[in-house]
Amino acid sequence: MAAEMLGRVDYLPSYEAMRQFTAQRQPDTPDRLWLCEHPPVFTQGLSGKAEHILNPAGIPVVQTDRGGQVTFHGPGQVVGYPLIDLKRAGYYVKEYVYRIEESAIRTLAHFGVTGHRVAGAPGIYVRLDDPFSHAALSGPVHPADPFRGLGKIAALGIKVSRHCTYHGVSLNVAMDLEPFSRINPCGYAGLQTVDLSTIGVQTTWEEAAQVLGRKLATFLAP
């Protein structure tokens, strides 16, 4: 499964293409992996609440059928859409999510950054004080602020229909992060969002997309 680089494409046609591909695929249809970036757009998941969109201010809001809550897509972010038949691949949704997160963590490691999972909050996070520290997250989570000291660098939102996946993962590379301040990212008020650029990693969208594409192809293989 080689990644297909789609470049910058509008969100809505991409969403419709994923749904159409998934609805029409047969048991022998090869899996696909699309990598792209989108013009500015807020996308709302099935459990998203309108009050988490504080001020869209001209950026379109698209209601989707993926899991999760609201997020932002924009230029400088790599978006990966794995279109995979999980029944044929031989693993379940929980394992699929773990493999996507592992792909993002390994992509960050390629750039020297340590990514972390936070229990109950899909996505990948980095330490704001030292994104390059290999130390595990330790100590009790602060109940009022489970993300204290962390910034979110990759978001997940998936849909599984008849054992087949669509939607996927986004990795922030070098974005205008301001629109994230207009929402409660993934439903968490005050959750800070970062990209590789703000934590001191200089790379191109193309390089980050190629690395993420390779990691996804490796870790999502049967």
- Which positions are annotated as active-site residues? 186
- 205-219 and 93-110 are packed helices; what angle lies between their axes, rounded to 10 degrees? 140
Cα gap 210→79, rounded to integer Å: 11
3-state secondary structure string, 117-141? EECCEEEEEEECCCCCCCCCCCCCC
Instruction: Report angle CA 144, 53, 38 to the nearest 5 degrees.
Output: 115
- Show the tokens assigned to 34: 């699309």
Cα gap 81→63, rounded to integer Å: 17
Cα gap 195→204, rounded to integer Å: 12
Would you say 114 and 126 are in contact if contact means Cβ atoms under 8 Å apart?
yes
Q: What are phi and psi of 50, to 5 degrees?
A: -55, -35
